[in-house]
Chain A
Amino acid sequence: MADDTPQDALTEAVYYILLTMLEPIHGYAVMQNIEKLTNGRVTLGAGTLYGAINTLLEKQWICAVAGDKDSRKKEYVITDLGHKMLQHELVRLEELLINGKNKLENSQ
């Protein structure tokens, strides 16, 4: 798991979990959303998601939403800190993309 320092890369699972949690969402929908977003390329294991949610809760990148009592399913949403981490990751990913494209184009 990446440290809290902004330059550390997020895992693909964490990146997508944070993206789906921009709106309050429950675990099952996280898995479905990620699969849909990536056209089936990324299928998250339930155990992996469980571990990631617990770590993200501990780091306070996400928090549990006090939802309605009738719903058995817990919902989660990104925190300001999580949002900041996502922004940092986006900058890092853009750098990767630009460097990759430039280097590959120049070598052709």
Chain B
Amino acid sequence: MKTKLWKAFWDYEKEEDWLNKMATKGLAMTAYTFCRYTFEDCIPGEYIYRIELLEHSVSHPESVQYIRFMAENGVEHVDTYFRWVYFRKKATDGDFKIYSDLTSRIKHYQRISKIWFTICCVDLSIGLFQFNIVIHSWERGVQYWLTNAVGGILLISLGIILLSLWWCYTKKIKRLKREREIHE
């Protein structure tokens, strides 16, 4: 039986935890499109899920080669959303993690951090541009500037959330780099 659920996550690790919790309840995620998850029934605890942000688009030869390598290692490619990929592996095969070394984990966080920072910059630029329009549309009447002001406020609020996300990853990277000074 198929189950559809709507849910939004800012943090992919929390999303991963949630998917794994669902799998322990007997619901295995099979598809994802903008905040909508599709689940199918499975044996409780049958799969372990992991999410990764690829370096390139999913159709890029390197990504294709990587996903093929994962398949050779018993890792199933469940779905893709932009450059985000959902992987799963049978729990009977043992522990499943994508990266076991600090350097790869740092690189992965850096990829995510860069994405959030880029989106944040674009978002804030549009937000500020909106405010510029607010000033210029002042003479044209209340309706014009009010719509632009609301739009601008929403964009800037989103920008602040994105900025905090970027900051969160910056801290995680810093922590791992410090750990790498004494551990491998």
Q: Is there an interface contact between B99 and A45, defined as CB atoms closer than 8 Å?
A: yes
Given A12-B184, A43-B95, answer yes or no on A48-B100 (Cβ-Cβ < 8 Å): yes
Pick from B3-11, B13-21, B70-78, B151-159 the stretch touching chain A.
B70-78
- B104, CB-defined interface residue at 8 Å: yes
- B174, CB-defined interface residue at 8 Å: no
Cross-chain contact of B73 among A11, A12, A46 (Cβ < 8 A) = A46
Q: Is there an interface contact between A50 and B101, defined as CB atoms closer than 8 Å?
A: no
**Distance in Å: Cβ of B60 to nearest Cβ of chain A:** 14
Given A11-B101, A12-B184, A51-B104, answer yes or no on A46-B94 (Cβ-Cβ < 8 Å): no
Residue of A nearest to B95 (CB): A43
Q: Chain A contacts of B82 at CB under 8 A?
A: none
Q: Is there an interface contact between B52 and A27, defined as CB atoms closer than 8 Å?
A: no
Given A43-B95, A47-B104, answer yes or no on A26-B72 (Cβ-Cβ < 8 Å): yes
Q: Is there an interface contact between B73 and A28, defined as CB atoms closer than 8 Å?
A: yes
Residue of B nearest to A26 (CB): B72
Residue of A nearest to B183 (CB): A12
- B167, CB-defined interface residue at 8 Å: no
Residue of B nearest to A51 (CB): B104
Q: Chain B contacts of A31 at CB under 8 A?
A: 73
Cα of A31 to Cα of B73 in the assembled complex, Å: 9
Q: Chain A contacts of B95 at CB under 8 A?
A: 43
- A59, CB-defined interface residue at 8 Å: no
Q: Is there an interface contact between A43 and B94, defined as CB atoms closer than 8 Å?
A: yes
Q: Chain A contacts of B74 at CB under 8 A?
A: 28
Cross-chain contact of A44 among B52, B66, B72, B100 (Cβ < 8 A) = B100
Bits for B47-85, please: 1 = Cβ < 8 Å to A, else 0.
000001000000000000010011011110000000000
- B98, CB-defined interface residue at 8 Å: yes
Interface residues of B, Cβ cutoff 8 Å to A = 52, 66, 69-70, 72-75, 94-101, 103-104, 184
